[in-house]
A = this chain, B = another copy of it.
Amino acid sequence: MNSIADVQNSNDLRNMPINRVGIKDLQLPVRIQSQDGEQATVAQCTMTVFLPADKKGTHMSRFVALMEENNEAFNYTTLKKITHQMVQRLESDSGDICLTFPFFRRKTAPITGIQSLLNYQVSFSGCLKKGVYQSTLRIIVPVTSLCPCSKEISDYGAHNQRSHVTVTLQCNGEITVEEVIDWVENQASCQLYGLLKRPDEKFVTEKAYDNPKFVEDMVRDIAVILRNDKRIDGFVVESENFESIHNHSAYAMIVSE
């Protein structure tokens, strides 16, 4: 088979390095290290490396092979190791891996104590740039938001809705998914649950009403927490409220300096 032409290894004359080249949206089953042990889930995986100007192409099959060979659960440490392996195997000095997956957490209803799972979308990313490693953790936390203005101006009731709070963290140490979920859920008008009995529904209804938040409040109250955590080098906090009185969203974003 040696005689099959190796087109990707020939030289390139355009003098144009490529910042990222690789594979996108490879779907694969993975295990994630959570606080309660390993969790089996399914990830969309994007893997790329830097390609210098004098190389014509990368070796696409090596990305897939690397993931096929891995049989460890993903956490801060294993993603770092695999990112290094990828960059080495692809003969580059820089590269990125991003895994996006549903993450589940067992929650306890506030009054009856009945338990159920709630799903969150999580992205784990590892980025190696000329030898320096940076980890990024991105979590979309669905919550209830209740509008302070609607509450204030109305004789009764207040519009509320599901919102997506997205926290993106550049970390220099391990931050767990559960920590971030707690930060967000504690700042929302109320958190969500998979399963609520009637007494629980009374509780979450009244809690949201007692705790109105503008989209601006959501991002500020979370950013205040994030800016004080030494493990965080940088962050973005976003909130998108799927307004129950409009057909568009209210949106706010804070980027750390």
Contacts from A to B (Cβ < 8 Å): 1, 4-8, 12, 14, 16-29, 39-42, 46, 48, 51, 56-58, 60-61, 64-65, 68, 101-102, 104, 111, 114-119, 142, 144, 146, 148-150, 152-162, 190, 192-199, 201-202, 204-206, 208-209, 214-216, 219-221, 223-224, 240, 242-255
**With the chains together, A240 CA to B162 CA distance in Å?**
14
Q: What's the least CB distance linking A200 to chain B, in Å?
A: 9
- In the complex, the answer to whether A160 meets B162 with C-beta atoms within 8 Å is no
Number of copies: 4
- Select one of B158, B208, B216 contacting A58, CB under 8 A: B216
- Select one of B64, B104, B253 contacting A29, CB under 8 A: B104
In this complex, what residue of B is CB-closest to A189? B244
A19: chain B residues within 8 A (beta carbon): 253-255
- In the complex, the answer to whether B201 meets A150 with C-beta atoms within 8 Å is yes
- In the complex, the answer to whether A23 meets B250 with C-beta atoms within 8 Å is yes
A58: chain B residues within 8 A (beta carbon): 216
CB pairs A–B below 8 angstroms (20 shown): A4-B199, A7-B153, A8-B149, A12-B216, A16-B254, A24-B249, A27-B102, A29-B39, A42-B119, A51-B216, A61-B195, A64-B248, A68-B116, A146-B157, A153-B198, A153-B201, A159-B205, A160-B244, A162-B244, A192-B246
**With the chains together, A243 CA to B118 CA distance in Å?**
14
**With the chains together, A251 CA to B160 CA distance in Å?**
19
A40: chain B residues within 8 A (beta carbon): 29, 40-41
In this complex, what residue of B is CB-closest to A163? B244
Known: A14-B224, A16-B254. 11 other contacts (CB 8 A): A4-B198, A8-B214, A19-B255, A20-B252, A26-B194, A27-B102, A157-B209, A159-B208, A160-B161, A161-B242, A201-B245
A48: chain B residues within 8 A (beta carbon): 251-253
3 smallest CB-CB distances across A and B, nearest first, come from A157-B209, A40-B40, A24-B251
